[in-house]
Structure 1
């Protein structure tokens, strides 16, 4: 639609939300680069935590890196505090159930006493991650998806975060019919209640997809917090989006090490980006900032970068070398072929046949870059079984050729296949 486009700016270029994961799948950052190449205009990729694709682009001489050595406000970076939950276990194993350690509660109370604000990051919605029968170990799962249902206390319901199905909270176990059913794994809803109990008088807002269902509601929550109508803001990934709150001096990250446990080759990169971004919300104005990282495993290199024990550039070099050895992006074009069908046996058999078909077109070296098929991390969704086949292609041309072969095969055998280039979600 532009008549005289002269520049494209991709702010926070590392953000994974630029990757469209449904229907027409694309990476908006890469489309911006392609559009700029067509128009012969420059692109600015802005980020305090650039993606490894962009880091490698600089190393290859395809981009120029400009460093902003200090914060825009010239204020120092916040002080990082590590709280090992092995040494400081969560408070309130009895009547008050809370994932917070005593040092964190104390720091939050001191912040409130100074009339300053707090951000609490927990990347998990709901009241409990799942409900568990204490007698037999039964966990309530979605009837249509291979995933446990999330407990929402205020609505007294269970909800599947994949298909959206809702059920009333059961009063007894469906297996042994016992009544000792408990919620496990704190979410933002339960954290809000915990904080109200341990921090008397605190005004708390929540920023997650359950509370914020529209752009208007998002602006209302952020506006209320910025206008000091609340002194604590709890949130999920939405908190990381470059918000500027002058009165925020304390940031708490619940279960910081859990960000590193995701079964994804990008897990360390994503965790580093998330922790640096959320930590950067503290102390952006006149008041000094403090960040409290809670967890059981705080010896990971990503955590040590936050504390200054390790150099970020060296870590990224090591990550790139690991990606090079394993032939992952940015040193390949990574594609996932996801086969979906109502019959598990047919889906499995067909995905295995697809590998045989694809191998006919590949050299022995390229055959080694096929992975799978294997059950998808979310094996069943909306009553459809899913098997994944991955291919690490050395060129885009080879990727497209393989994808055409897979799609033609899928049409022949009447199975749905979703082709996702450089997928970000499992």
Structure 2
């Protein structure tokens, strides 16, 4: 008895389909049949159909696999981990040492006891492959949570977390706040990764908050990494963390060898030397895969006029635009401002405009010319914007579809590519001379993590690092010894300079359109707080311009707070917040407070 107008053909088709399928059809099936969301909405408004939300487990069809035999180190690690109460265990294991197997076995024990588990990973790109690996071994539901999900998916997965049943949740940073009432364990994989720090809005460290949540819930937490942060290593030294060391790869493969390629007097093409290209040619002829690492996306970091020296600069940030040739755009990597690429110089009208430097796009173009017979893929934030793009690339790489992989640090984290035998690090020298005191630590972590992608299959791996600093002590330590010795050296340096983890920092950041406003705000605040800071033995340094003075049209200044005692630092911060509120100092500025900052920007 349903009456529809003759023009409502799609509505009639939808009703006919539902009549043929009385148990109902999914929205995805209806879309495939050409039924749009508006058709469903109209029929629902008329009361002709009803819909309900069903939570779908996308990992339900993954086949189970047999557990591997544990190594002696893995067995000892499991015996050393306390699962009955709060304990922070630092799983310090080389790349490929089987940290994930430790996670799986600990999680299984927790789920078998009727509790829930939370696994944090640093990148969205790691969640699907991580979920698949855990689903191959666990009979329990596995739920994913990250910002790449649409609103419906996020609602579905959040609802799943509220169910009072054993479940593993694999999530990025924000998943720490999942409403798991029976949480029994938290695992933070790649605990050193900066992605765990929320750098905008409400500032927090997901790793540190995870430790706090575990403490409050009296449950164990595992922090895993091949390159632990200096803070975590210091906690282990002091006995706050239970350090578990995995010094060997879980399989028979040896760690890759590292070759330093001194390029000081060598001619270069797009950042690559002739000996390096010859080595790549040799590997490709043997049918092996190569990872070329360059941590700079886009085509070129600078566009300039060869005749007059004009530079393409973002006026809102006073920084260079990056050329993205694939989109034919100039883009600011600080404020995301965009503009068309000029065909002539805006100053002298010359057509002699040159791209200076190389990013992933330019390197891809060059290598396509050098090795036209070998398939290659570029993986960076630009090439993986579409949903599921990263999953597709990872699958194709493992299937051997590509021989050359060109990527940023997205490829350095946690991926298992058995076919890669050679990892090429194009240039990382700049990190050795950065003003940020954490830059060298990040250099060692990134170099070690990238190196860990090689030699994970049947053939041995090799790392080639192009450098103009072959005798630099930090580089030689990483090459001749290991990350552990490298980190010990850095800890000694930090102790001498009294930087974290031998002191505690907070940064008050202020910004405004007019430059004098943040300067005046910090100067006035410092004047009010100077005597209180001296009482609490907290040093106040500033106002100083941020490394990026101007960003998105606003000037940025900061005040650094440093103390040997965290409690004293927090007491001063409380007084400072009260002062800002009571004296209404922040009328003309926007300010934020970052405790334990990871970047001094």
| Structure-2 residue corresponding to 1:348 | 519
Gaps of 5+ in 2: 1-178
| Residue 215 of structure 1, CA deviation | 5.0
Cα displacement string for residues 156-187 of structure 1 (whole angstroms, at most 9, x for unaligned residues): 22011111111111122233333322111100
Aligned twin of 1:375 = 545
Q: Which has the higher contact order (CA 8 A, sep 6+)?
A: 1
- 2:290 paired residue among 100, 118, 134: 118
The answer to which of 181-190 and 393-402 deviates more is 393-402
Alpha-carbon deviation of 1:355?
2.1
- CA distance in structure 1 between the partners assigned to 2:455 and 2:485 by the alignment: 26
Equivalent residue for 1:94? Answer: none
Sort the Cα spacing of 1:318 and 1:82 in 2 relative to 1 into closer, same or farther, 3 A.
closer
Note if contact 1:58-1:65 (Cα within 8 Å) is conserved in structure 2.
Answer: yes
1:50 to 228, 235, 257: 228
Q: TM-score, normalised by structure 2?
A: 0.67
- 1:104 Cα deviation after fit: 1.1
**How far did residue 262 of structure 1 move?**
2.6
For 1:13-69, what per-residue CA distance to the aligned partner results, in whole angstroms no more than 9, with x for missing partners? 111111111111111111111111112222211111111011101110111211112
2:372 maps to: 200
Q: Deviations over 1:250-284 (max 9, x none)?
A: 10001121232332111111111100110011111
Is 1:156 aligned with 2:367? no
Aligned residues of 1:135 and 1:180 also touching (Cα < 8 A): yes
**Residue pair 2:444, 2:483 contacting (<8 A) in 1 also:** no
Call closer, same or farther: CA 1:194–1:74 in 2, change over 3 Å: same
| 1:6 equivalenced with 2:165 (yes/no) | no
Partner Cα separation in structure 2 for residue 305 and residue 344 of structure 1: 43
129 and 60 in structure 1: CA distance in 2 versus 1, 3 angstrom threshold: same
SS at match of 2:349: coil
Residue 422 in 1 paired to residue 593 in 2? no
* 2:61 matched residue in structure 1: none
Per-residue CA deviation, residues 324-367 of structure 1 (Å, 9 max, x unaligned), is: 23322212221111110010122222222222222131217835
CA distance in 1, matches of 2:524, 2:473: 41
Distance in structure 2 (CA, Å) of the matches to 1:406 and 1:385: 22
Distance 1:214 1:62, change over 3 A: farther
Tell me how far 1:7 sits from its aligned partner: 2.1
Alignment of 1:50-199 (within 5 A): 50-91=228-269, 98-199=270-371
Determine if the alignment matches structure 1 residue 361 to structure 2 residue 544: no
Instruction: For 1:195 and 1:263, locate their aligned partners in 2 and report how far apart those are by CA, in whole Å.
Output: 33
Residues 73 and 285, structure 1, Cα contact 8 Å, conserved in 2: no
Counterparts of 1:196 and 1:404, CA distance in 2:
57
Q: Report how many aligned residue pairs link the two structures.
A: 418
Whether the aligned pair in 2 keeps the contact of 1:370 and 1:391 (CA below 8 Å) is: yes
Distance 1:155 1:7 in 2: 44
Q: Which structure: larger Rg?
A: 2
C-alpha separation between the residues in 1 aligned to 2:301 and 2:596? 29
Which residue of the partner structure matches residue 394 of structure 1? 564
Offset of residue 409 of structure 1: 4.7
SS at match of 2:254: coil
Alignment check: 8 A CA contact 2:299 2:359 kept: yes
Report what 2:469 is aligned to.
297
201, 226, 243: which is aligned to 1:23? 201
Aligned counterpart, 2:110:
none
Q: Of residues 255, 262, 274 in structure 1, which corresponds to 2:446?
A: 274
Superposed CA deviations along residues 370-410 of structure 1, whole A, max 9, x for unmatched, are 22211111111111110011111333333333334444454
Structure 1 residue runs of 5 or longer lacking an equivalent are 92-97
Instruction: Provide TM-score, normalisation by structure 1.
Output: 0.93
Q: Is contact 2:510–2:592 with CA below 8 Å preserved after alignment?
A: yes
Tell me by how many angstroms 1:298 deviates.
Answer: 2.4
Distance 1:406 1:175 in 2: 48
How many angstroms apart in 2 are the aligned matches of 1:409 and 1:84?
A: 55
Q: Structure 1 residues 330-339 or 299-308, which shifts more?
A: 299-308
* Alignment root-mean-square deviation, CA: 1.8
Aligned partners of 2:488 and 2:325: how far apart in 1? 45
| Structure 1 counterpart SS, 2:422 | strand
C-alpha separation in 1, matches of 2:347 and 2:433: 31
Bigger drift between 132-141 and 266-275 goes to 132-141
Q: Is the 8 A contact 1:327 1:392 kept in 2?
A: no
**Aligned residue in 2 for 1:333:** 504
Query: Equivalents in 2 of 1:173, 1:139: separation in Å?
Result: 9
